[in-house]
Structure 1
Amino acid sequence: MWNKSLQTLMVSTIMAVGVSLSACNSNTESDTAAKEAGADNSEQTAAETSKAENPNANADLDGATAAQGTPVKYDIASWGTAKVTSLSIDELKKIQSAFGKVVSTDENSLDYASNPASKYRFMQDDAPYLDLIDSEKYLELGWYFANPTDSDKEKEISQNHAKKAYQLARQLMGDEGGKLVADMLGGQIAKNKTIGGQKVELAKCEFYSCMLVINKSAAQTADK
């Protein structure tokens, strides 16, 4: 039979030990939480310090940052809508005159469909290009399409090229031809359409290049 005094002493001892262990566990958990919080704060401080010391942290891995420039604007409204002298698709000399003076000729070039053709260049090789490519089946107008990061001079030349193409397109296809070039400069692409009496195989401006390809075969009476 248990002695009440002994029983009371044992109960008191057990309770005291329990309280002591609980306090130890509580202190251990507090210490662990404090260490973890300290580690998080250290990592955050290190990251902020690194970012402050390296303002180009968001740059590409090779150290380059995304280049930005001013988009090229085409003042199409100022290019005029007055009546122009119409040209036939076969009047090559007059078409060349609309682009200016031929600087060089390549008689061994290829057209849009890789057929033998002649390429007429209206700019020096080191300048933004302006070309005509003439073959038995196609007449192609090609010019440099400036990028926002290009120099002001390159943009100006590109704008002048576009103006010449716009005016020539009006001579070949009327006002519809002018609208076609305006749409090209605005990012639209035309394929296999009859525009102003001419069969346009492809018309687009992208990746530094504008190309307007006219099929010399008989024009269709309706868009495909």
Structure 2
Amino acid sequence: MWNNTLQTLMVSTIMAVGVSLSACDNNKSSEVPTEEVSADKQTVSDTPKTPAPNADLDGATAQEGTPVKYDVASWGPKKVDPLRVDQLDDIKSTLGKVVSTDENSLDYASNPASKYRFMDTEAPYLDLIDSEKYLELGWYFANPTDSHKEKELSQSHAKKSYQLARQLMGDEGGKLVADMLSGQITKNKVIGGQKVELAKCEFYSCMMIVNKSASQSDQ
């Protein structure tokens, strides 16, 4: 009797412990640590938002502007007085009033030259460089995002350069400047009797370089 009773008691005890352990395991599997939940929520909130269509890598909106228009058709073909490349005073008169002069400048090929500025230092530039070999004209080529005033001055510089080119090279000179403003580059070409070594507008700058010695020898 005692043996049967003892066996029955031991079996009952073992079953009770097993049920208790099973219940604990079930409770543990249904619980999620608070730290893990917080981590999951943090991961979602830190996901970067899709940037706007015109945004850069920093999320800033890209700056837009209006392209500068050059009404070349309205600048000609009225008659102009022809000029030679050695008529420096008349050439300067076409461009306006000289604001400053640098007698210790250099030309396209690093030869001694004189630089004549027709604008104040702070304003979009219009320069003429004259040396024994070269006559160089340079002016500020406005960007679409520049101010209205800067664009106006760039257009004015281009118009004066167009007129000077026509005086030096006839209608072919006017076409040369029109091509420059439209993005074309001219190198080592005789235009209207003048040897143009380089003529282009890019990176905020327009330049037209005439080889005086070659032009004079052709005339």
TM range, normalised to the smaller chain?
Answer: 0.7 to 0.9
CA distance in 2, matches of 1:165, 1:57: 40
Task: State which of 112, 116, 130 in structure 2 corresponds to 1:116.
Answer: 112
Secondary structure at the aligned position of 1:177 is classed as: helix
Displacement of 1:50: 5.0
Determine the structure 1 residue equivalent to 2:86.
90
Task: State which of 174, 198, 201 in structure 1 corresponds to 2:197.
Answer: 201
* 1:18-70 Cα deviation digits (max 9, x unpaired): xxxxxxxxxxxxxxxxxxxxxxxx99xx58x853xx75597334444322110
Determine the structure 1 residue equivalent to 2:135.
139
Secondary structure at the aligned position of 1:217 is classed as: helix
For the pair 1:125 / 2:90, whether they are aligned, the reply is no
Task: State which of 201, 207, 211 in structure 1 corresponds to 2:207.
Answer: 211
CA distance in 2, matches of 1:161, 1:64: 34
Determine the structure 2 residue equivalent to 1:177.
173
CA distance in 2, matches of 1:83, 1:113: 33
Answer with 1 or 2: which has the greater Rg: 2
Using the size of structure 2 for normalisation, the TM-score is 0.75
Q: Is the 8 A contact 2:51 2:59 kept in 1?
A: no
For the pair 1:158 / 2:154, whether they are aligned, the reply is yes
Q: Which amino acid aligns with 2:85?
A: I
Secondary structure at the aligned position of 1:143 is classed as: strand
Distance 1:61 1:169, change over 3 A: same
CA distance in 2, matches of 1:118, 1:65: 44
Distance 1:165 1:56, change over 3 A: same
Displacement of 1:82: 1.5
Q: Which amino acid aligns with 1:188?
A: Q
* 1:132-173 Cα deviation digits (max 9, x unpaired): 000010000000000000001100000000000000000000
CA distance in 1, matches of 2:48, 2:173: 57
CA distance in 1, matches of 2:134, 2:59: 46
Q: Structure 2: which 5+ runs fail to align?
A: 1-39
Secondary structure at the aligned position of 2:120 is classed as: coil
1:67-86 residue pairs with structure 2 within 5 A?
Answer: 67-86=63-82
Secondary structure at the aligned position of 1:218 is classed as: helix
Secondary structure at the aligned position of 1:204 is classed as: strand
Residue identity (%): 78
Distance 1:114 1:70, change over 3 A: same
CA distance in 1, matches of 2:54, 2:201: 32
Secondary structure at the aligned position of 1:87 is classed as: coil
1:52-63 residue pairs with structure 2 within 5 A?
Answer: 56=52, 59-63=55-59
